[in-house]
Homo-oligomer: A and B are copies of this chain.
């Protein structure tokens, strides 16, 4: 029976869905549920990772230190993980502190064409003898050959596995298959996939990835995550079980845990109209909330903003462009070029 490593970013990607307002009670409950269900790794922190709490990206309710210490005190078999984007997280302050608290697993992430920025962070984690992975975000925006090249850099830096993210939920299964296939052929380390559900394909894309040799899959309870949400963990585990894969997670306990977490703080995401357009245009799911807010302020259709964001190929961290586009769209509509005529 083939083993799949499930990594659960409910307490990290899910932060996007509640404006990064996870508190000690949420974290305590979830860490306990993860431990009971046998989830191998949970990722904890601000939606954009370690050190990303800020006015522009949204401020966390509590500090990185509080979040990590809360979970560290509870977790035993379940490993404590973090998502780290160099630029948001410095080595000497943020990363050192997280490792001192006792983080087990570090994922160092960059835009899919910028692996170079992960070198020092990956090397630092290896020197301190932690489990470290490289993550390529917005992976749909680069061809398979470039992804393979960037992933190989991360492998050379010392990454022990590579995860590609479908940050906009833009993939269909065939595209996932071809990309994962190239990565599995190119690399000497495990390959993983992180899905979003904008085109309803989060589970199907995850299964497509493992059929091509991926052995690491991300999933969150109820799909709790940015925009249309992630691969729903309970479904993922059920389907893997049905297909004869082994995850070490107790499905029955996981289903109970999801009911408990939902009753407490999980918001169940769904694919709204904006999410569909976000998936079609390939814009990062984390843009959904600010786009909706700014569209309301400027009395615009959020779908029009997403089309324009897609045309400009924006990436996370460029949220200020939303406002610029909104201003420009509302000026156009004042001179008779209505958003709907843009179709």
**Chain A residues in contact with chain B, CB under 8 A?**
172-173, 199-204, 207, 222, 231-232, 234-236, 238-239, 241-243, 252, 255-256, 258-259, 262, 268, 270-273, 276-277, 279-280, 301, 303, 340, 343
Contacts and interface: CB of A to CB of B under 8 A. Distances in A.
Nearest to A203: B200
How many monomers of this protein are in the complex? 2
Contact of A280 (B238, B276, B303): B238
A333 to B, nearest CB: 16
A280 B301 CA distance: 39
A269 B222 CA distance: 12
19 contacts: A172-B207, A199-B235, A199-B239, A200-B231, A200-B232, A201-B204, A201-B239, A222-B270, A232-B271, A235-B271, A235-B276, A241-B280, A242-B280, A252-B303, A255-B276, A258-B273, A259-B272, A262-B272, A270-B270
Contacts of A234: 271, 273, 276
Contacts of A276: 234-235, 238, 255
B273 A256 contact: yes
A239 B203 CA distance: 15
A200 B199 contact: no
